[in-house]
Amino acid sequence: MYLKKKPPELLEELLTELRRRVPRLESITAEETIDKRLVLRLKDEAFAEPIPVRFASDGPLRRLAYLVVLNEPEPAGLLGVEEPEAEIHPARHYRLAENFIRVSARTQIFVATHSPQFLNALEPEQVWVLDRTADGYIRATRAADISRVKNMMDHGAQLGELWLEGYLDPDARRPAADAR
């Protein structure tokens, strides 16, 4: 029902974009049941009738949710998203990050991710590394403030690669690859 309150052209743009990302998707409909519950149905080209979303993959639903949030004409002042890469193919994580970057010009965004591909789309100034200290507190360190990160990126490294190898560890410990 939220989407039905938006301008019809915005809804159509979102559905067109979703169909582009989920090629076999023909339509999404929302029906209110007799007891006032909302039932979303997806129409896949392989099926004669739309199916309730509870029987569909989570991927298209996540994509729809991100399309709605990222294209909101009047976004909230703060958007928090945990693991936006979940249920989405790794090859699409970089593009997803670019969409979040685009929207960050209009609202503050916090994203918790475990995707190196997502991180590869970002600059060190955009990334904060969170870790627990020995006394149990959470420490936040901007990736740009970790001395070796800028130098390594100047030589062609990407943030996702640096994270996987342990170079985003704010402590000056050996990288994970060397600790084996």
Check residue 162 and give left, alpha or beta (phi > 0: left; psi -120 to 50: alpha): alpha
pLDDT at 31 over 50: yes
Q: What percent of the chain has pLDDT over 70?
A: 91
Q: Find the radius of gyration of the CA atoms of the chain.
A: 20
Q: Quickly state the pLDDT bin for 11 (edges 50, 70, 90).
A: confident
**Each residue's pLDDT tens digit, 87-121:** 888 998 999 999 999 999 999 999 999 999 999 99
| Domain locations in the chain as residue ranges | 1-73
Instruction: Report the phi/psi class of residue 83: left, alpha or beta, with left for phi > 0 and alpha for psi in -120 to 50.
Output: left
